[in-house]
Amino acid sequence: MDASPTKKGYIRLNAIFLLFEGISKKTIAKSSLVTVHTLNRWITLYNERGIDGLIYQSRSGRPPVITGEAAQQIKDLLENPHQAGYAHWTLRSLHGYLKEEIDLQCHYSTLVRKVHREGYVYRFPRSYPINQDQEQRAEYLKNLEKWQSEGWELWYIDETGIEGDPRPRRRWCRKGEKRTLPYAGTHIRESVIGSVCPGNGQMEALQVNYCNSDMFQIFLDQLAKTVDCHKVLLIMDNASWHKSKQLEWHGMKHEYLPPYSPDYNPIERIWLLLKARFFTDWIAKTPEELSDRITFALKQFFKSTSEVSSICKV
């Protein structure tokens, strides 16, 4: 039975072997989970071609419909929809365009499979501020490499606001079904000042009603009690309260991100996950409920330093 490299081939060879042993066709067909008609076909193949006739050969399948120039044209259109007068494509609109303009006769599902096989996925583009200064951003990255080589313990600081009403998110539903999501409309909101160290996954946070230099100073006082101030480098955005001359930094060095560069602050990823995990479809009816929920959510990240370090990897 070593003559067959596949399970299907082994079953066929074993059936012929059992025939030589005198077992009835009906019994062999039942043990092989096939019909007697199929077994007779195997016998015919064996009589005509021997063992080679029973070895299962994978089938090549139908030839691809989209090849060569058509495949390349689809790639060009996906990456440059403006060439066809479109701002963006859906695969439905692309399928209709290909059918009308280049007479490509293929089913919509065939186009979907081809696009996926070429490595394309349907994603929302990441927006970025048009006021970014690329020279400043490049200079920051050079400084970041220098700070890391000098052994500074980098802590990134940022603030976020969390509302009591849930954030609508996409979900699956049946075609024609209208999904609804209740909200309280009380406009409850609470802010969080937070800091994360990607190197060790540690986090510090302070829940406040609003952000200003006084609240930020309280956060700095809290942070200074938990870190070695002379080894810490704080990195933050250019919010006005981050630059108040009255701030006491407790010996911690501080630097600022390039303007309009939230993508360089890894704690932004924590805020996104925190809101997605703990505030989707969740309603706070009172400020106390919202505050308790934020505290619970933050504690989950405080306990998962390895996850935080992975999320915030610089």
Of 5-9, 118-122, 293-297, minimum mean pLDDT range: 5-9
Q: Give the pLDDT band of residue 59 (cuts 50, 70, 90).
A: low
Whole-angstrom distance, CA of residue 160 vs CA of residue 196: 13
Mean pLDDT of 101-123: 89
**Whether residue 129 has pLDDT greater than 70:** yes
* Confidence at residue 232, expressed as pLDDT on a 0 to 100 scale: 97
Of 25-39, 45-59, 74-88, 208-222, minimum mean pLDDT range: 45-59
**Whether residue 171 has pLDDT greater than 80:** no
**Whether residue 215 has pLDDT greater than 60:** yes
Amino acid identity at 11: I
Helix, strand, or coil here: 197? Answer: strand
- Specify the higher pLDDT residue, 206 or 68: 206
**Whether residue 61 has pLDDT greater than 80:** no
Q: What is the 3-state secondary structure (H, E, C) of 149-177?
A: HCCCEEEEEEEEEEECCCCCCCCCCCCCC
Mean pLDDT of 94-119: 90
pTM over 0.85: no
Whole-angstrom distance, CA of residue 190 vs CA of residue 160: 9
Angle among Cα 270, 271, 272 to the nearest 5 degrees reads 90
Q: How much is the mean pLDDT over the chain? A: 90
Domain-by-domain residue ranges, the chain?
7-53, 68-117, 134-168+185-311
Q: Give the pLDDT band of residue 260 (cuts 50, 70, 90).
A: very high
* Confidence at residue 4, expressed as pLDDT on a 0 to 100 scale: 62
- Specify the higher pLDDT residue, 167 or 27: 27
Whole-angstrom distance, CA of residue 70 vs CA of residue 90: 18
**Whether residue 1 has pLDDT greater than 60:** no
* Confidence at residue 310, expressed as pLDDT on a 0 to 100 scale: 95
- Specify the higher pLDDT residue, 246 or 4: 246
Question: What are the CA-CA distances from residue 259 to residues 105, 147, 155, 174, 313 (Å)?
Answer: 50, 19, 18, 44, 21
- For the chain, percent of residues with pLDDT exceeding 70: 96
Of 60-64, 129-133, 310-314, minimum mean pLDDT range: 60-64
Under 8 Å CB-to-CB from 114, ≥6 apart: which residues?
64, 66, 71, 74
Under 8 Å CB-to-CB from 16, ≥6 apart: which residues?
42, 43, 46, 54
Highest CATH level, class, for 134-168+185-311: alpha beta
Q: Give the pLDDT band of residue 311 (cuts 50, 70, 90).
A: very high
Mean pLDDT of 5-18: 83
* Confidence at residue 3, expressed as pLDDT on a 0 to 100 scale: 58
Mean pLDDT of 118-132: 84
Q: Give the pLDDT band of residue 2 (cuts 50, 70, 90).
A: low
Buried b (16+ CB within 10 A) or exposed e, 13-45: bbbbebbeeeeeeeebbeebebeeeebeebbeb
Q: Radius of gyration over alpha carbons of the chain, in Å?
A: 32
Of 48-62, 116-130, 187-201, minimum mean pLDDT range: 48-62
Q: Give the pLDDT band of residue 145 (cuts 50, 70, 90).
A: very high
